[in-house]
Amino acid sequence: MKWIDVTWVINPQMTVWPGDAQPVMERTATHEEDGLQGTRLTLSVHTGTHIDAPRHFISGGTTIDAIPLATLVGPCLLVDVPGCDLIEPCHLEKVNWAGAERVVFRTDNSTLTPEGGFRRDYTGLSLEAAKFLIKQGIKLVGIDYLSIERYEPNSDFAVHKALLGAGVVIVEGLKLKGLAAGRYYLMALPLLLKGSDGSPARVLLGQGQDE
């Protein structure tokens, strides 16, 4: 199987959600002074390519360390939704959902850089589309920007609450530019952070005879 890394590299200049601090990578030891290199990393668990666990918005919801691997690893659909700022059910109705439990959306977000200021005009998923995916039995949904739903001041995060409340895991900040729509094999592996609402993740899409 050919593996494609769809993870953004974490670095101190990367785009973060408003209110979050950019990652800090502090050198704690150097080869010149200590004979080895050491680094301390400080960042939000929702930095870069990351996974939202249900606990992010659901009190008592599953934490990142308790999400089953069977949810995070397996066949996945990559659906291309260009030219819109909101993914609606009309964009999903013609997709062949047979056997699908995981889906990632490539949108116009994939042309955006992962560094610099936060963009408020990114493409997100509508509440109606989220409900559509829940009815399809989707267990994991991913998108190519820092949030699954559109940015709104004073948002009630209805899309997050609908998906996470139904036990659907959300993967945000995927690097999908240049990938063809179709079926892949997904591995989305978070850090095992006890009791956490999310985690940075290394996410791979596989193609080949075993997909």
Q: 85-122: per-residue pLDDT in tens?
A: 999 999 999 999 999 999 999 999 999 999 989 999 99
Judge whether residue 14 has pLDDT over 90. Answer: yes
pLDDT of residue 210 exceeding 90, the answer is no
| pLDDT (0 to 100) of residue 208 | 84
Evaluate whether residue 16 is within a structural domain. no
Residue 186 CA to residue 129 CA, distance in Å, equals 22
Q: Which residue has the tokens 């956490």?
A: 196
Is the per-residue pLDDT at 58 higher than 50?
yes
pLDDT of residue 28: 98
Give the per-residue pLDDT at 36: 98
Look at residue 167 and tell me if it is in a domain: yes
> Mean pLDDT of all residues in the chain?
96
Q: Kindly state whether residue 22 falls inside one of the protein's structural domains.
A: no
In a domain, 144, yes or no: yes
Average pLDDT (50-73) is 98
Domain-located, residue 176: yes
Query: What is the number of structural domains in the chain?
Result: 1
- C-alpha–C-alpha distance, residues 182 and 196, integer Å: 32
200 is a domain residue: yes
Q: What is the arithmetic mean of pLDDT over 145-167?
A: 97
Q: Which domain holds residue 146?
A: 2-9+45-207
> Span 165-170, mean pLDDT?
98
Catalytic residue, from 50, 56, 91, 160: name it.
56
DSSP letter at 116? S
The CATH code of the domain that includes 162 is: 3.50.30.50
Q: pTM here?
A: 0.96
160 catalytic? Reply is no
What are the backbone dihedrals phi and psi of residue 4, each rounded to the nearest 5 degrees, phi first? -115, 125
Per-residue pLDDT for 8 more than 70? Answer: yes
State the pLDDT at residue 179: 97
Percent of the chain topping pLDDT 70: 99
H-helix or E-strand containing 135?
Answer: helix 127-135
Residue 21: pLDDT above 60?
yes
- pLDDT of the residue at 209: 61
| Whether the predicted pLDDT of 211 surpasses 60 | no
Would residue 38 count as lying in a domain?
A: no
Q: Would 40 be classed as within a structural domain?
A: no
